[in-house]
Amino acid sequence: MFERVGVIGVGFMGGSFALACKESAFCKVFGVDINPEAIRKGKELGVIDEGSTRIEDLKEFDTQLVVIATPVRTFYSIGKALREILDESCVVSDIGSVKGHLVYALEDFLGPRFVGAHPIAGTEKAGVENVLKGLYRGKKCIITPTERTDREAKKKVVQLWESFGSLVEEMDPYLHDHVFGAVSHLPHAVAFALMETIEALSQNSVDLFKYPGAGFKDFTRIAASDPVMWRDIFLENSNNLDIAIEAFINAFSRLRRLIKEKREDELTQYLRSASYKRKSLD
Ligand code: NAD
């Protein structure tokens, strides 16, 4: 498969990926990160073998695969830089949360050897100090090939994820953004907005954050996620997210009406249907 792998962005996801490459696929890993502390900690924790803050240093490592694991809006400049420094035969992939036009932009820079991927695994924690061993085991990994994607490159990327124990599924890049705009990006947006709501309701009143119940904590866990990472996701998938927010506002307005107008039966039905759908997820 791959013996020498480069990971750009030695954070939570890139670090967990590097660890999986070393432990499941026995690769040597070179990490690149703009933050020298991430490189230092990555080496200290045994997450990467070597590393640098300069992307050009990847050249010397002779990598067969480079994976981009930085916030998604950095992918454009990183893709351009990689075009200049990588050997033609080096496969490039990513673990970003947005695909769609980003996949086609990277394909323009790098050609058919680019294979988009998005592991459906993660937490609200950021940084290499939070890496998780076995993070990708038993989790879905969505691969988003296009009609141009090199078959051999795709096969190798799929094999690598399977060696981590991931369940690989293929999806069209634009369909991916529609799906995850709804089931991932919308809930994060709602959680961030809920924190803002409680902040606003605390003005001229008691500090409501002093009384967080279990439900509030469960619901808002993801609002502790990294702001830069989520800013980039929201901006790169803004159209799909806008459609999802519109649908949410409609559903929320209906709930508000049922409560305000005390339409007991319809309200019970609304809640019963939501509760049934949530239970069926488990
Ligand atoms: P993170 O903040 O833990 O790590 C990002 C790392 O990238 C940091 O170490 C940062 O210093 C580095 N970085 C930023 N800009 C850079 C640049 N231009 N060049 C080199 N390094 C740079 O974030 P994360 O949670 O690991 O997320 C990384 C990627 O994974 C994002 O694209 C995100 O969309 C995707 N993702 C995250 C999750 C999750 O739950 N955290 C899940 C799936 C996918």
| Chain segment 180-239, per-residue pLDDT in tens | 999 999 999 999 999 999 999 999 889 999 999 999 999 999 999 999 999 999 999 999
CATH number belonging to domain 175-280: 1.10.3660.10
CATH architecture of 4-171: 3-Layer(aba) Sandwich (3.40)
Q: What percent of the chain has pLDDT over 70?
A: 100
pLDDT value of position 25: 83
At 92, is the pLDDT very low, low, confident or very high (cuts 50, 70, 90)?
very high
Whole-structure pTM value? 0.96
Pocket of ligand 1, beta carbon within 6 A: 8-14, 32-35, 38, 69-72, 74, 95-97, 119, 122-123, 126-127, 226, 229, 233
Residue nearest to atom 2 of ligand 1 (CA): 126
Residue nearest to atom 38 of ligand 1 (CA): 122
Specify the ligand 1 atom closest to the Cα of 74: 18
Concatenated DSSP letters for the chain?
--SEEEEE--SHHHHHHHHHHHHHS--EEEEE-S-HHHHHHHHHTTS-SEEES-GGGGGGGT-SEEEE-S-GGGHHHHHHHHHHHS-TT-EEEE--S--HHHHHHHHHHHGGGEE-EEES---S--SGGG--TTTTTT-EEEE---TTS-HHHHHHHHHHHHHTT-EEEE--HHHHHHHHIIIIIHHHHHHHHHHHHHHHHHTTS--GGGS--HHHHHHHGGGGS-HHHHHHHHHHTHHHHHHHHHHHHHHHHHHHHHHHTT-HHHHHHHHHHHHHHHHHH-
How much distance in Å is there from the Cα of 192 to the middle of ligand 1? 19
Average pLDDT for the chain: 97
Q: Where does the chain hold its CATH 1.10.3660.10 domain(s)?
A: 175-280
At 139, is the pLDDT very low, low, confident or very high (cuts 50, 70, 90)?
very high
Residue nearest to atom 32 of ligand 1 (CA): 96
At 282, is the pLDDT very low, low, confident or very high (cuts 50, 70, 90)?
confident
- What is the mean predicted confidence (pLDDT) over 14-40? 96
Q: Where does the chain hold its CATH 3.40.50.720 domain(s)?
A: 4-171
- What is the mean predicted confidence (pLDDT) over 48-56? 97
